[in-house]
Structure formats: C-alpha cells, structure tokens
Amino acid sequence: MLQITDLHVAYGAIQALSGVSLEINTGEIVTLIGGNGAGKTTTLRAVSGLLRAKSGAVRFAGEDITGLAPHTIVARGLCHVPEGRMIFANLTVSENLAMGAYLSTDPARDERNREFVFATFPRLKERLTQTAGTLSGGEQQMLAIGRALMGNPRFLMLDEPSLGIAPRLISTIFEKIVEINRTHGITILLVEQNANLALEVSSRAYVLETGRIVMQGESPALRADPRLRATYLGG
C-alpha cells in the first residue's frame, strides 16, 4: 500500500535520510523505531508532503505521491498524526474534529466518521464543548487521532503517540490503535520511542539509525534479537 524507495531528505547541508526504502502492505501495523535524531519523524513528514525529498520516490496505493501537497495526499486517504499532537488548543473538541473533515463534501460520511470516533474514544463525546487545550495529554492524543479519522483515512501514520501521556493511559491509546487497525482495516505506520510497546502491537518493524534502515523483519523476531535488545529494549 505504501512504498518508499531510496528516499533522501536534507535540512540544508545536514543529511537527514540517506536512501530509506520500506514497504507496508494493506492491513498491516508496521513500526519504525530508532533513537532520537534517527530520522523517524523526517520520514513521516516526507511521506505526508510536509518535507520535500531531494530524491527518491513515495508511492501510495500504486500512485506516485512524491512532491504532492499535503492536502492532496490527505484527500487520497493517507493521514498523519504528528508528534506533539498539534491540536488546535483554542478550539473545542467538536471544532477540532470538524477541522479533520475540512476536505469532505459528504455530510453523511462525516457523521459516520464522527460516530466512529466516538465509539473508539467515548471520552471525546463527553468533552465536545470543552476547549481542547484544557484536555489531559492522553485526551489530546485521542483527539489528534480522532481528528485524523475524520479525514476518512485508509492509511494512518502515528508519530510518538505515547509522548507526554500518563502511563495509565498509554495502554489505552495502544489498545485503540490495534482496534482501529483490526476493526476498521486501516493500515498503520507507527513511530514510537517505546520500542517494546511498538514491537508488541506491530507485525513488522524497520530500525532506523542516522537516516538509514539498518534492520528489518517480523516484530517477534526483532524483539528476540540480542542487538536490538541491547540498544532499544533495555537489554
């Protein structure tokens, strides 16, 4: 469903990605793990059109989307939940969700997606009129994912969904990620600093170091790999 081929991205003179290639099949949860500065967020931003690649290609559902504008990519069914959530803090929960459907011209579909969001995250329905900036970190992450779901995605990219969330809510967020994938068939690319948790919920994984893919494979096999355990899984 998503194919990245020999992707190179730079910030001025600093090379951030050096020939990244990966492939994600329809219906999978695939995780991209690596240390700070490895290039994980850069990869997602390049896929979603927020960064322009120097070279390489990104194909989604058989179509070359390299260099397309972000809103054009969203319209094709690929939605990105950025690191730090990036909700509209001064708007209500309801208004944030409405912003997720800004490209839509189908009110009936919007209503179905809204009910999907409420079924997945009932807490959001309880806080519809609350200003988003007053929500807890976990609730804001629910809202960020819910806003993306309002865009009617076929493919969801999640960047550090556990960041800044109370430990008691992290498991809830990840249970919902698995539910979104299994119940609704949405393919997911997950970037997550908590490598143990990411490998637990994903079927396959890629390991990124200094802008290059250095390992890849089935998640259970990578969890057992002594090199990965020593570097990312606490021994």
Between CA 226 and CA 223 the distance in angstroms is 8
Q: What is the pLDDT of residue 21?
A: 95
Residue 19 confidence class, pLDDT cut points 50, 70, 90: very high
CA neighbor of 180 nearest in space, from 89, 93, 119: 119
Would you state the pLDDT for residue 4?
Answer: 96
Query: Exposed/middle/buried for 64, CB within 10 Å: 0-12, 13-18, 19+?
Result: exposed
In this predicted structure, the answer to whether residue 16 has a pLDDT above a threshold of 80 is: yes
Dihedral pair phi/psi, residue 76, rounded to 5°: -85, -5
Of the pLDDT bands very low, low, confident and very high (cuts 50, 70, 90), residue 24 is very high
- What is the number of domains present in the chain? 1
Looking at the chain, how many residues does it have?
A: 235
Give the tens place of pLDDT for each residue, 116-162.
999 999 999 999 999 999 998 889 999 999 999 998 899 999 999 88
Indicate whether 56 pLDDT > 60: yes
CATH number of the domain to which 105 belongs? 3.40.50.300
* Paired strand residues for 202: none
pLDDT at 165: 82
**Span 179-202, pLDDT tens digits:** 999 988 999 999 988 888 899 999
Per-chain mean pLDDT for the chain:
90
Task: Please tell me the pTM assigned to this model.
Answer: 0.89
* Nearest CA among 198, 196, 207, 199 for reference residue 173: 198
Can you tell me the mean pLDDT for 205-223? 92
Structural domain containing residue 144: 2-232
234 confidence band (pLDDT: 50, 70, 90): low
